[in-house]
Amino acid sequence: MVKRTLSDERTLNRVTIPRFSNSRKAQIEAPHRSVMFGSWILAVFCVCLFFLFIRIQRPKNFPPGPRPIPIFGNLFQLNINNPLKDFERLAERYGKVYSLYIGRRPAVVLTGLKAVKEALVTKSADFSGRPENLLVSHVTEMKGVIMADYGPAWKEHRRFDLMTLRNFGMGKQSMENRILAEIKHIIARLEKTIGSSMNPQTLFHDAASNIIYLVLISTRYDYEDSTLKEYVRMFTENAKIANGPWAMIYDTFPVVRYLPLPFKKAFTNTQIVKQRAANMINKHKTTRVPGQPRDFVDCYLDEIDKRVDGSSFEEIQLVMHLLDLHFAGTDTTSNTLLTAFLYLITHPDVQEKCQQEIDEVLEGKEHASFEDRHNMPYTQAVIHESQRIASTVPLSVFHCTTRDTELMGYSIPKGTLIIPNLSSVLAEEGQWKFPHEFNPSNFLNEQGQFEKPEAFLPFSAGPRTCLGEGLARMELFLILVTLLRRFQFIWPEDAGTPDFTPIYGVTLTPKPYKMLIRLRQAARGMQN
């Protein structure tokens, strides 16, 4: 029998743990690290392969532009709240015709008069399409006249619209009388605020809205009417959404389109105004006499009656035409008036010179006539300069190429999104004496006569020129002349420093401001 010592017992009871040297430990961990490193290599390779697979390839001889990144395109190279400065910067680097990518979608930006005219006028058939699969095209369902694609149905409706609007007074005495009648309501509103300040924003929107609605459906709303306020609010809201950051996100990332994000508001607003327009048309039918049209809606309904099945004239198109013409006849005019008065109250010398000319030409007359514009070169220059500086529709409405074509030496494939940068034309160096400041001399020759430069394109150019141009020109002249004849408009002392930076959207809108109103001595004399 073997006897165990105390030291032996301790040795047997001790838990034995193998100990390895540092080199042995490294040998065991090395395979594990190799596996992890290999996994990272594989992951990076897969990502690179994915990006290589979806990378954006520029078509052959496509206009130059910043390098797009997969999925996002050039989104991160633009200030999506207002990309106009970025467009200027990119044009300086890449030229008057350059490319961008909205997600994977190619777009070509046109900068300056030469590029815009070649595309929209010289090659209008190639560049007059409307893009699909964007927020604005989905909201409008490509119906109406503004967003309808270029083709026989659009041409047919465009001809009808122009002829009907002309028959109901566009450029005629009857339209002048409608505008002058609405101006009386503007004057009544302003007279209530004499000696105090007011924000003119809703006033000009309401007035322009009423003028076009009288032509469209023989309806006028009181300025305090909640329906009119809702219409104006929703149109204004949609104009800001349509070219704003949420529209850019909608256009770039189709996967987010079903999420409850702010761009959904544009669909909601449009659905509401469509339903209201449809209700108005149905109510209008109850008093309609076929063949005896009172307005645009009656003319369209008569046209539906004449057409056979399969015609592009149908009631859903009438609803969208009503909305399109309402928007076209309201937003541009009201925003230009807001811009004009912003600059008149901050340039009192310009306002005074206008008033002197107006007093001389209208002496002894009860009211202004559109024909009086020929005797008011300075006032005409101020109105046109207001339109130029307002740049109300800075990027026009996006176009799309209808077939493979060329522009200024570059190849542009069919279906390419076209962005005409009208603001670049309206402030182009070499086209204007004072391109970057408010100065009526931009429209006056050395003899002080009114002259309109070729680069004056606030309503775009070519076959898709704004339908409301004729109405807008008459409204701007009659409203501005009548109000300047009667009132003096002043920047309030407590209003701080004027901010001329507009709010960006499909249309540019001046930031809200107030103006102090006084009755002019000449107007007091007329009352006496």
Supply the CATH number for residue 272's domain: 1.10.630.10
In a domain, 339, yes or no: yes
Please count the structural domains in the chain: 1
In angstroms, rounded to a whole number, what is the distance separating the alpha carbons of residues 393 and 504? 10
What are the residue ranges of helices labelled H in 83-142? 84-94, 112-117, 124-127, 135-140
In this predicted structure, what is the pLDDT of residue 168? Answer: 76
The radius of gyration of the chain from alpha carbons, rounded to an integer in Å, stands at 32
In a domain, 167, yes or no: yes
In a domain, 47, yes or no: no
In this predicted structure, what is the pLDDT of residue 40? Answer: 55
Evaluate if residue 46 carries a pLDDT over 70: no
In this predicted structure, what is the pLDDT of residue 12? Answer: 40
In angstroms, rounded to a whole number, what is the distance separating the alpha carbons of residues 351 and 347? 7
Name the binding residues for heme. 466
Q: What is the pLDDT of residues 314-353, one digit of tens each?
A: 999 999 999 988 888 888 899 999 999 999 999 999 999 9
In angstroms, rounded to a whole number, what is the distance separating the alpha carbons of residues 262 and 453? 41
Q: What is the pLDDT of residues 479-497, one digit of tens each?
A: 999 999 999 999 999 999 9
DSSP H or E run through 258: none
Amino acid sitting at position 277: A
Beta carbons within 8 Å of 463's beta carbon, 6+ residues apart: 124, 128, 150, 158
Q: Any idea which of 188-192, 201-205, 370-374 has the lowest mean pLDDT?
A: 201-205
Evaluate if residue 177 carries a pLDDT over 50: yes
Average pLDDT, the chain: 88
pLDDT band at 56 (very low <50, low <70, confident <90, very high): confident
Structural domain boundaries enclosing 201: 83-519
Name the binding residues. 466
What are the residue ranges of helices labelled H in 329-468? 331-346, 348-361, 377-390, 422-426
Q: What is the pLDDT of residues 415-464, one digit of tens each?
A: 999 999 999 999 999 999 999 999 999 999 999 999 999 999 999 999 99
Six token digits for residue 417: 């999104």
In a domain, 418, yes or no: yes
The neighbour count for residue 51, using CB atoms within 10 Å, is 12
Evaluate if residue 166 carries a pLDDT over 60: yes
Q: What is the pTM of this model?
A: 0.86
Q: Which of 54, 252, 245 is nearest to 134 (CA)?
A: 252
In a domain, 19, yes or no: no
In a domain, 64, yes or no: no
In a domain, 23, yes or no: no
In a domain, 73, yes or no: no
Contact between 140 and 320 under an 8 Å Cβ cutoff? The reply is yes
The two counts, helices (H) then strands (E), for the chain are 20, 9
Q: What is the pLDDT of residues 97-151, one digit of tens each?
A: 999 999 889 999 999 999 999 999 999 999 999 999 899 999 998 888 899 999 9
